[in-house]
Every structure is written in C-alpha cells, then in structure tokens.
A and B are shown apart, each in its own frame.
Chain A
Amino acid sequence: MAFLSKKKKQTVVEAPVKLSWKEVKKQKALLIWSAVIVIYGVIFYYLPLGGWVMAFQDYKPKDGLFHSAFIGLEKFQQLFSDATFLRVIRNTLAMGVINLAVTFVAAIAFAILLNEVRTKGGKKVVQTISYLPHFLSWIIVTGILHDMLSGTGIVNEILVNLNIIDQPINFFAHKQYFWPIVAFANVWKETGWNAIIYLAAITSIDPSLYEAASIDGAGRWAKIKNVTLPGIRPTIMILLLMNVGNVLNAGFEIQYLLGNGLVQSVSQTIDIYVLNWGISQGDFSLGTAAGIFKSVVSIILIVIANQIAKHNGDERLF
C-alpha cells in the first residue's frame, strides 16, 4: 500500500547517477551489502522457480532434477482430467471470491461507521478491540470456532432458544455451512485490521467538504454517500486490485484446519491438493504442476485487474 504512491514520485525526481569507477568505489559498502542480499534472494526466492521443471518431468527423487525423464505436459493432462482437481479449483475460486467480497465490504462499512462515532474514547476502545483477532493464529481462531459452533456452543443455544431450530446443528458436518463459516471467520479476524487503511483515508478527506455538505442540508447518510465514499474510492480501488491477485492464495490454513472427511468436497483448496499429492503422496511432479497453475492464474488475474483499472482511469499497480 504504502509503496505504491512512492513509485510514482521516484520517476519524477532525480537524474540517475552514472556508473563510474569513482562512484563504485564510493558506494563500495552498499554494493557489498546488496551483493550478499541478492545472493540470499537468488537462493531462497529464485532457485525454487527452477523446480518448476519438475512439472514437465516424471520426477524421481533418486534421479534428481537433472536426470529425471521429461514427459511434456502429461502431468497437466493428468491434473485436468482429475475430477478432484477441478472441484478443488472451484472451491478455491469460490471461497476466494466470497471472502474477498465480504471482508472488503465489512472493512469499508466498519471504517465508515466507526468514523461516525462521536465520542473519542469510545472510538479508541472499539478500534483497539477490533485489531485483536488479527493477531491471533488460525489455530486459535479455528479452536474458538469449534467451541462457538459445537452442539453446546453459544450459536446453537441462541438458535434453539429463539425457536429457529429444534435440534442443535452440527455445523461442521454439513457441506452447505462450510463456505459461510470460512467467510465469517475471515470477517471476524480481519475487519478491524483491514479498516485501518480506510480510516486513514477518511481522515485525510478535506473537512471543508463536510462543512459544505452540511450547509447544503445533507444528513449523515447523505454525507457518507456523497463525501466519504467518493473520498476513499481511490483507496478502495487500489486495495481491490492488490487483492484480486491473491484470490487463489486466500485458501489454506483455515480450510486445512476446519476441513474434515464429511465436507472434503467443498473444503479442499489448491494448496491442500498440492500438499496431499506432493508432500504426502510423494508425486512431486503433479504437485508442482498444480502449484504452477495457481501462480499463472494469479498473475493473469493481476494483469487483467490492472488493465481494467487503467482503462477506467483509476489507480493502478504498475
């Protein structure tokens, strides 16, 4: 977030320093440090990319990367003829989109409403509390969810007492509840945290706009609709853009921790599939192929979102 605007600035400012022996000598310290850092980056971030070769091989651990037989796109064919994989893509996309939509709306709504709280102390307390779940691990959050949604948990108790249901529901045993539970957990965990950036954007809206709206007789709803929302529109767009590329990344921990045999067909995501096939079953080639598919789709999504933003004249990533 923070760096996006910076990029623009740089291009305007300075003339580049010319590469010369004198300059190199002067910057010796910086150059040595960056060399060390680049070596580190090549090893830990770029070397694994070489492992993509595995997807086109019949990788055998004993033969290694250099002596395994090449088999072309066979693993990809195997992948796309696997009904499980197609279902896994559906699950990942569906949960990714649902989560993105609900967490987005929740964060924006929460930021706007919190901004309307007039008592300063109250606002501060609510905000501090709202960050708390962000700092808890998914292990803890899923544990808490199990407690809340269990047969004797608070949710069932409320539903029974309100006569909405007669018998407690075992929420984790029915497929239709899984996606909503995941979406709710994401909203619970991240709303306060995601709202930080919108609150900051709201604070930077020119107060005179609100005064002008008041003089024109606008109520609080009208001000939210006509001043606040348009004011944070650029922030909304850029965050949306950044998150679209992550749609396929949004599914591992919670699905892995909450999933069970009964809801497997709706809970498994691409990452879980990779883990199952790659690490547990030892089919490294198939797992890598699935991983590549995910990366490629993510990049395509980012580029498309960026193009759309460019077309509409909104902020964009690159």
Chain B
Amino acid sequence: MIRARRSLIALVALLAIVLAACGSSGGSKSAPKTSSTTGFGAAPSGTIVVGAEQDAACADWIDKCAASSWGAWMMQYQTMPRVFDYAKQGSDWVEVPNVAMAGMPTVTDVGGKQTVTYKISDAAIWSDGQPITSNDMKYTATQLASGKNVYDPTGYDQIESVATPDPKTAVVTFKKPFASWTQLFSADYGIQPSHLLEGKNRDQLMKNGYSWSGGPWIAKWNKGVSVTLTPNPKFYGTKPTVQKVIFKILADTAAQFQAFKAGELLAIYPQPEPSAIAAIKGGVPGTQAVYTADTANLEAVWMNNSRAPFDNKVVRQAVAYSIDRNAIVKRLFGDIGVEKPMQNLQPPINSRFADPNAWSQYTLNLDKVNSLMTGDGWKKDGSGVWAKGGKTASFTIESTAGNKRRELTEQILQQELQQAGFKMTIANKSADDLFGKILGAGTYQMTIYAQTATSLNPGLCAVACTSAIPTKANGQSGNNLSRISVPAADPLLATVDSNPDVQARITAGKQADRLLGDDQVSIPLDPLPNIVLWSDRIGGPVADNPVLSMFWNMNLWTLKG
C-alpha cells in the first residue's frame, strides 16, 4: 500500500513536470498582446530572453571595470542618454543625433578655439521625471577629466570648459582643435545624471547597478545570472512594446546554441569563433540570421617594423605577396558568407576615411616574391628558406594562446609562407603577456590581434604616426605598437586626428592609407564579422549596429505568438 502510494506520488510529480513543459515559454505572455509600435496607450507584453556571453563587470561606465562590451550592450546603451547614434547612409556609417538631442551639435570657432554647442531635447527627461540638462553634460565631462576611478579620459582632457547658458544648451570649448569630438558623450560614456550623482560617490552608487534611466529601459542586474530590462515609463522616444527583456548569462558557446535551438533563448550574438560557425553550419531552424562584415573590428597580421626581418620593406612586401588572404578569410568565415579580406588598416565603420584598395595589390604571387627577394640580394638556402648575409628569413609569430581562430590563421599562414620560402614559428603567449609586456616592449616580430573602434573617428595617428612609437622618451606610452615609420604619412595622419574639417580628414586618410599600403606596414586580414541570430518569434527591425550591437533598438522589437 505504502509502495503504491509512493509510486503514485512520483508519477504525479513527473506528470506535473511534463505538463509544465507543454506550456509556452522562451518568451512568455503575461498580458494581452498588442501590435502597437509606439507603445502609447498599449500595455507592453511578453518577455524576450536573450543569451549573453559575458556578464558586465560593473555598471559604473566611467570606471575601468566597465571596459566590457556586454555590459555596455545590456545596460549602458539601454539606460544612458547619449548625443549620437550611428546609422548607415549610403556606404558610410555616420553619426546621427540621438532622440535625447534636439538636433546635430554645431561646431564653431570662437576666439580661435573650437566650440561645440549641444542642444538637448526639451522632451528628454530621466526616469524620475527630472529633465536631462546641460549640467548633466558638464558633470560628465568634469568626472571624466578629473574624477576618480576613470577608465580613459581621452578627449575629455581636451575640454577647456563647459558652459551651460540654459538648462538645455551645453557649450563645450576645447583647448585645441579636437577632430574626434563626436566620440564624446556618446557610445563611450553617455551622459550621467548630475542631480543624482553630483557631490556623491559615483562609483559606489553605480557599480552594482542603478534603478534610474534616461533611455528606453530600466535595468535590474542580478549579478552573474541575468540583466532584466523593463520599459522606462518616462522615456521620451518610442517606448518598448515588450514587457521585459532578460539577458541570461551563458558563457559556454555550445550550451548557448543548444538553448537557442531549444527556444530557451530567443536571440544570441555569438563571437565569430570556429565553434560558433560550426554550430550555425549545423542549422538552426525557426530562426533568422544576419552575418555582417560591416563591423568596428579589424583583425590584422601586425609586423614589427623596427625588428628584423620586418625592418626591411622588401621583406614585408614579399611576405604580403606570399599569402592568399582571400583563402584565409574564406576558410575562417566562408560558411557565413564573409569571404573578402580587408584592404586597409581601418575597421569597416571608418571606411569613409580609408582607401578601399590600399592593400588590394597584395595577392598571392610567388613570382613577385621571388623577384622582390632576389632583387634585394636574397637567395634560397638548402632548406628552401630565403637567406642573406648569413641570416635567414625566419621569424616568430606570437598571438593570444587559446584563441582557436587565430591559431587556425597561423597554421594557414605557416603553410603558405613555407611555400614562398619563409620560415614562421608559432609561439603564442597569454593575452596578459602579449598586451602587457611584449607589444609595448617591441620584443616581437609578428603578431595577430584585433583592433576595435569605439567611435566613427579613426584615431589613426595614435596607432601609425612615428611620434606614437613607444620609446623611453615618451615613457613607452605610444600606441604605435607595430613601430610604423612612414614620415610622409605622419602629417596626413595628424590631419585625420586633428582637423575639424571632415572632408579634409577623409582626403588625408585616403592618402595616408595609400602610403601605408605601399610601405606594407602590416597585413590587414578580416573584419571579424558580427553574427546576429534571432527567433522567428521576434518581430521588428532587428539589425546589427557595429558600435551599439544588435540590441541597440530593442524598444522597437515585438514578440509574436
């Protein structure tokens, strides 16, 4: 009798679990569904669950702990007002005013100084009903220029003063012409609420999450578990139509794809690693996908121009002619339709400043390799490796250990270079060693890593001007880690970084690109494509944004079924 009762209880429990599974979820309904895209007068409904590969480290966007892309995508861009959004016009990405602004800022010259006037929208308010004001911009600038625990004050340290003639107008005066002014108060840090933070410990109040917002969502952070976004009822733009968006932290790529296939997650944004691409190739029914090479990333094979054998331009060029970059990119990303290599050293979002063909002459051409090397006095030794003056054309590549994509790239490079008469040894290091010691000290010959732009301003001189080479004189502070030294390009690169005239910057950028390409300072590879995957249940304009990610317009998403 007792046994029978126990069996019955077990059966009922199992049945309950199975019946629970027969309900609908992944996204769930808790209110009548509406189809309004503005949300006015219609209650938001449904929950969208999204997979996040990483948790935010902290929510104080000014602090170094906030140098986390996912933190920005999940929380910062959803809650912090900013000056600019980023849109594609024709073939170029450009800044457009965010809904928090009344229009494009205007740049003028006042007393010989560059001055930018920002007009904040009259409708722009924080979630507590207080207006977003010019004092918020002044507070943000002050915190970044001189506050505590600041990640990177670049740009804000160029500001001489911020005037606030009225609550909706901020006038920023720069110490000297600053071409990259559009990166300020935008995707980097946004605009902070002075009425909530001024005079207080900003880091303490924000780092573990905050309940206010100046964007379409209010974020609730359950550390290590999830970030839940609920609509900001005071948002002055298009209000969200879904009741909740939940980012679930799931670092394991295999588990993430399984959860996506099973409907536990309705959208994911995986890194373009071989494991993710293999999972996509296996098929994901009931979903939609966008694979885009239009990103803020550039992965390149960087050569140390100050170290043999790459201190020799002929060798640099010959190595470039030894490589079939088309084949490499096709091998890495062909399964998602990205097959063309980059042809300049700028990420796609800065393409308007770049020459689209600066590196296009460097295709696999072993005859060219032979003529360049023999013309420079090299001969192949007994093992088929180029040699000159008792030294062989051998070198070591040091990239980040454990990165499967880069390891695969190195293997392909090694084979191709061997055929051309170059001996490349692979000796990968930890990211900390590579970025903390080796690149800065210049003790490497060749490496692979990606640069990611955080704005539509190239910042070329910082990475390619001769004056930016890390030396003892500048305290090893330069960012020209490849030790690129093309003196003719220096003034052009400086123009790109400092001239407020956009057209002049574009012209100079293209000219500089051609010079750098002719000198073959390094080898651009691929744009590290973005992968956007979402369920058919999500409607609305789901699209990638190279700076703000696929989640930039979630307030316009809808949930079907």
Tell whether A pairs with B: no
